[in-house]
Amino acid sequence: MKRIPIYKKVVLALTSTTFFVSCGGRQVEAEATNLDSLVTMQSTSLTVIKSKNGTADYRLITPLLERYELAQEPFIEFRRGIDVISYDAESGVVESTLVADYAKYLERQQLWEARGNVVATGSNGQKLETEQLFWDEKEDRIYSVVRSTMTDGEDVTIGDGFETNSAFDHYRIRGPRGQVTVDTEPNRDSTTLETPVDSITATTDSVIMP
């Protein structure tokens, strides 16, 4: 979960296209109302792989990506779901995963939303299950305001919401019910340093741009 931001950069790099609309007078005003529903790019069966030193670092898989660049609030939509996997850069072992039936990314707000059978796992064995999850890049905040289930080892906690940071090193469950274990150890330092991207590979069945 903590590496989801990289995917935003990868997707935007792949979909960065400039579009020019040349219309006059009333025609511009009339067509402006339709821009929110105008798909400026579409890609099917898309797989994006970011590698570092020849080892896969991140993998994003989606059956359908659609970008609405000309919308009042530009966004990227994954209507058929998304599967994000991050790997340990040295061992290549899966470090974290995130799957959902639907996802949407608001570009200006830097806000992700995942909906429908959302399951997130971390390398420490924690698993979060919920129906809606938000990730605010600016605030470094991952949260849910609906029923959430956290499985941590043998402990299963159900609550009315969930909140953590992008490192997923500590979390808070609202209105917890079930078995709860209190961690008395200090939080681990979640500070990370960004490193240059060695390579990015993307495969897709088709890309459509009006």
All structural domains of the chain, each given as residue ranges with its CATH number in brackets, are 4-16+41-183 (2.60.450.10)
DSSP single-letter state for residue 36: G
Sorted by sequence, the CB contacts under 8 Å of residue 167 that are 6+ apart come out as 2, 188, 190, 192
Beta bridge partners of 144: 162
For 186-210, write each residue's pLDDT tens digit. 554 433 333 344 445 555 665 555 5
Sorted by sequence, the CB contacts under 8 Å of residue 106 that are 6+ apart come out as 73, 74, 75, 112, 113
Other CB atoms within 10 Å distance of the CB of residue 206: 9
Indicate whether 27 pLDDT > 50: no
DSSP single-letter state for residue 41: E
Cβ 147 vs Cβ 158: under 8 Å = yes
Q: Please spell the DSSP secondary structure of 111-149, one letter per residue.
A: EEEEEEEEEEE-TTS-EEEEEEEEEETTTTEEEESS-EE
- Integer Cα distance of 109 and 75 in angstroms: 9
pLDDT at 37: 84
For 55-67, write each residue's pLDDT tens digit. 777 788 999 999 9
| pLDDT tier, 167 (very low <50, low <70, confident <90, very high otherwise) | low
Read off the tokens for 171.
């979390």
Cβ 35 vs Cβ 12: under 8 Å = no
Q: How far is CA 110 from CA 72, 170, 200, in A?
A: 15, 22, 21
Indicate whether 163 pLDDT > 50: yes
* This prediction's pTM: 0.68
